[in-house]
Structure 1
Amino acid sequence: MRKLIYTFGVSLDGYVNDRDGSIDWTEPDDELHQFHNDRYREIEISLHGRRLYELMAEYWPHVPEGAPRIQREFGALWTDKPKVVFSRTLTEVHWNSTLVSVNAVEEVRRLKAGGDGVMEVGGASLAASLMPHGLIDEYQLFLSPVVLGGGTPMFPTLDKRIHLRLAETRHFNTVLMLRYLVD
């Protein structure tokens, strides 16, 4: 069975974007960018909510030729990676993406059962829809030293607790990575 990882940059007060929807405070330095490039190579399938897909599609398929090598590398990785985009409003997706407009929970169950690799989920709303069903196996938080005071929370209100076990911490120049496994 495939493992599903929820990976996201998060503020100290638990938000994945600010009140205006901006994630400009998550801009990675070269060390963190290289880590994400290397990590992304290990991902078999990337699951995106609509907003994250649109944000990523706005830049990564079109990285300018003069951009730093590390960004051009990620652009190529992102466009080539198989992606499943969950949206009720989009009518088409590109760059090795498949659009799913019904029942994300059932589709993720099917994808998990369809192999033994690693998938990641991106998008707080999509992840929030999967959490109550126990579909996320690992949480990777990239904790930034900023307090936003509002925005989209990384974690939704839940009816029951999700017990986690700290598996790894890693200090980067700009963030602290906390990796938790579901008990």
Structure 2
Amino acid sequence: MRKVIIAINMSIDGCVGHMSLPGPDEEVGGYFNDLMQQDVDLIAYGRKMYEIMFPYWADEANWADESDTEFGQRLIAFDKVVFSRTLANAEYNTRVVSTDPVEELLKLKHQPGKNIYVGTVSMLPQLARAGVIDEYHLVVHPVIVGQGTRLVEDGALAERLSLKLVESKVFKSGCVALKYVKS
């Protein structure tokens, strides 16, 4: 069975807004490239994150280095699902799904293929409550932002979610990659 993996950049205080975090350096970018290359063949987004990611990564002018180029090429090539009730269609190998993300991801988990990468935090509480997420890859950047969207907003989870740390990696930049599984 495929695993559902969520991988997110965040600040020390749990903020996940792309505009409030420094862009990942080549080493952190390489971490995400490796994760996607080895283990993933489908990416799931919410509408807002999809619209942030595309067309930005589809434009080669935004690829600043080898890591960006590798990431952009992979991102465009992957099959993608975007969950939205308002988006009519999408580009770049993307299928729009307007049904329940939990039900759809549970179906996809049972289909053949590699793992499924969830690249959005908007669905995290819903997917976590339903037990859909198998692995949490959190890259913590050494900044305190103080405001903005959090990994999980107050009250979004009815009960505590216990996880087990199975891997960690410290980068030269001070970022720390943490891999958790359900305990």
TM-score for the superposition, normalised by structure 2: 0.91
- Counterpart residue number, 2:151: 154
Aligned residues: 179
Q: Deviations over 1:146-177 (max 9, x none)?
A: 11112111124211221111101100123101
Whether contact under 8 Å (1:48, 1:122) holds in the other structure is yes
- Counterpart residue number, 2:6: 6
Structure 2 residue runs without a partner (length 5+): none
Q: Deviations over 1:101-159 (max 9, x none)?
A: 12111101111111352111111112222111000011111001111112111124211
TM-score for the superposition, normalised by structure 1: 0.91
Alignment equivalent of 2:60, drawn from 59, 63, 71: 63
The alpha-carbon deviation at position 24 of structure 1 amounts to 4.9
Q: What is the CA–CA distance in structure 2 between the aligned matches of 1:103 and 1:168, rounded to whole Å?
A: 31
Secondary structure of 1:16 counterpart? coil
- Map 1:31-110; keep pairs closer than 5 Å: 31-42=27-38, 43-64=40-61, 67-110=64-107
Q: What is the CA–CA distance in structure 2 between the aligned matches of 1:24 and 1:15, rounded to whole Å?
A: 8
- Counterpart residue number, 1:23: 19
Secondary structure of 2:138 counterpart? strand
Q: Deviations over 1:27-69 (max 9, x none)?
A: 1111111222222112111111111111110311112287423
1:3 to 1:57, Cα distance in 2 relative to 1, 3 A: same
1:26 to 1:49, Cα distance in 2 relative to 1, 3 A: farther
Query: Is 1:123 aligned to 2:86, yes or no?
Result: no
Structure 1 residue runs without a partner (length 5+): none
Q: What is the CA–CA distance in structure 2 between the aligned matches of 1:66 and 1:171, rounded to whole Å?
A: 25
Two-structure CA RMSD over aligned residues (Å): 1.6
Q: What is the CA–CA distance in structure 1 between the aligned matches of 2:113 and 2:36, rounded to whole Å?
A: 16
